[in-house]
């Protein structure tokens, strides 16, 4: 049966009168009678008994009416859900994020997002910038959060800058780097970060570090520094006010400008049309505004 036939049966069961039911359904009485006969033929049994006093339900009719009313209620729930979706944010937000941002900045934003939009779901992957760009190109995610200067032709929104610091438990001046035998601890990166540090180092000291240790993760690098093994250059996003007994020396370029790293929100225009992406972007902007 079509949905209109469920409604027809429900109205007939409520009115138990062909004329009144026809008036409610805005059809003629003969047309209603013909449609009822067609429905009864489809079920292969009488649903209503007709008499001068009106209509009465057969046992089969009672069962079919219960079924029709259940279908009407389910349809109404679906319609209510659809109407709610027009005002609420549903769907899955698919994000690929630079690991350093995913560990240190994004959790605060996602906490606000899930509190504000409890019906939305989140799918998150983290990794290097090249992996995030590939995820965007392949359509695996809606948006990517990328460090540095991403080569992206779609929508690219600047999120924030953070200063680079030379971090150590002992040295509190840059000149001491040339005197210490303790290692310079570096972490691997596929972005231009590593090259930026190398360029800055040679401009500043015109020589290579005496001793270096290379680790695979920035968090490993940070923990080694905090435990006094050596010194490193770390972005402000990894450093917090609660970090004690640590000297943080800001780096400057040749024009005495702070050396900084950019973070970008990237995606295709079509992705930014999605409600969950628009909602996330708004939460991000609110978070940045409050922090700023």
What's the Cα-to-Cα distance from 29 to each of 34, 55, 232, rounded to whole Å? 9, 13, 87
Average pLDDT over residues 235-247: 83
Residues 176, 138 share a domain: no
Last residue of a domain, one of 72, 87, 102: 87
| Predicted structure pTM score | 0.69
Tell whether the model's pLDDT for residue 41 goes beyond 80: yes
Of the pLDDT bands very low, low, confident and very high (cuts 50, 70, 90), residue 136 is very high
The pLDDT score that the predictor gives to residue 234 is 94
Q: Residue 213 belongs to what domain range?
A: 162-259
Of the pLDDT bands very low, low, confident and very high (cuts 50, 70, 90), residue 194 is confident
Residues 21, 59 share a domain: yes
Tell whether the model's pLDDT for residue 1 goes beyond 60: no
Residues 131, 57 share a domain: no
Helix residue ranges per DSSP H, 147-215: 193-205
Under 8 Å between Cβ of 99 and 126? yes
Residues 217, 140 share a domain: no
The pLDDT score that the predictor gives to residue 66 is 96
Residues 267, 154 share a domain: yes
Residues 250, 166 share a domain: yes
Of the pLDDT bands very low, low, confident and very high (cuts 50, 70, 90), residue 80 is low
Tell whether the model's pLDDT for residue 43 goes beyond 70: yes
Residues 245, 169 share a domain: yes
CATH of the domain at 236: 3.40.190.290
How many structural domains are present in the chain? 3
Alpha carbons 159 and 100: distance in angstroms, whole number: 14
Strand ranges (DSSP E) for 1-130? Answer: 48-51, 54-57, 92-98, 121-127
Contacts of 29 (CB under 8 A, 6+ apart): 18, 19, 22
Residues 106, 146 share a domain: yes
Tell whether the model's pLDDT for residue 242 goes beyond 80: no
Alpha carbons 14 and 17: distance in angstroms, whole number: 9
Q: Are strands 212-215 and 184-187 parallel, antiparallel or unpaired?
A: parallel
Residues 276, 202 share a domain: no
Q: Are strands 54-57 and 121-127 parallel, antiparallel or unpaired?
A: unpaired
Residues 81, 220 share a domain: no
What phi, psi does 287 have (nearest 5°)? Answer: -65, -45
What's the Cα-to-Cα distance from 13 to each of 5, 44, 264, rounded to whole Å? 12, 19, 62
Tell whether the model's pLDDT for residue 46 goes beyond 70: yes
Under 8 Å between Cβ of 10 and 72? yes
Alpha carbons 230 and 247: distance in angstroms, whole number: 12
Residues 167, 153 share a domain: no
Long-range Cβ contact pairs of 130-133 (< 8 A, separation 24 or more) = 130/190, 130/191, 131/96, 131/190, 132/96, 132/97, 132/98, 133/266
Rounded percentage of the chain residues whose pLDDT exceeds 70: 95
The pLDDT score that the predictor gives to residue 278 is 93
Last residue of a domain, one of 58, 87, 116: 87
More confident residue, 256 or 10: 10
Residues 230, 211 share a domain: yes
Last residue of a domain, one of 31, 56, 87: 87
The pLDDT score that the predictor gives to residue 260 is 92
Tell whether the model's pLDDT for residue 31 goes beyond 80: yes
């Amino acid at each position: 049966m079509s949905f209109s036939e469920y409604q027809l049966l429900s109205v007939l069961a409520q009115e138990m009168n062909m004329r009144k039911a026809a008036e409610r359904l805005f059809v003629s009485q003969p047309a209603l009678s013909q449609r009822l006969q067609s429905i009864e033929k489809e079920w292969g049994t009488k649903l209503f008994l007709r008499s001068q006093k009106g209509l009465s339900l057969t046992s089969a009719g009672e069962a079919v009416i219960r079924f029709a009313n259940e279908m009407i209620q389910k349809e109404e729930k679906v319609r209510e859900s659809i109407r709610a979706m027009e005002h609420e944010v549903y769907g899955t937000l698919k994000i690929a994020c630079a690991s350093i941002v995913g560990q240190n900045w994004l959790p605060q934003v996602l906490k606000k997002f899930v509190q504000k939009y409890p019906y939305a779901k989140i799918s998150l992957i983290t990794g290097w910038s090249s992996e995030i760009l590939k995820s965007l190109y392949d359509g695996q995610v809606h948006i990517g959060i990328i460090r540095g200067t991403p080569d992206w032709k779609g929508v690219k929104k600047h999120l924030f800058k953070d200063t680079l610091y030379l971090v150590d438990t002992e040295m509190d001046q840059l000149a001491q780097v040339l005197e210490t035998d303790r290692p310079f601890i570096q972490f691997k990166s596929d972005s231009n970060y590593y090259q930026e540090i190398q360029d800055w180092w040679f401009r500043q000291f015109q020589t290579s570090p005496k001793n270096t240790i290379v680790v695979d993760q920035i968090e490993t690098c940070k923990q080694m520094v905090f435990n006094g093994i050596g010194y490193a250059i770390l972005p402000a996003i990894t450093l917090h006010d609660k970090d004690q007994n640590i000297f943080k020396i800001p780096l400057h370029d040749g024009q005495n400008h702070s050396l900084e790293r950019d973070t970008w929100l990237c995606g295709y225009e079509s992705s930014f049309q999605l409600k969950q992406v628009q909602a996330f972007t708004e939460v991000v902007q609110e978070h940045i505004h409050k922090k700023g």
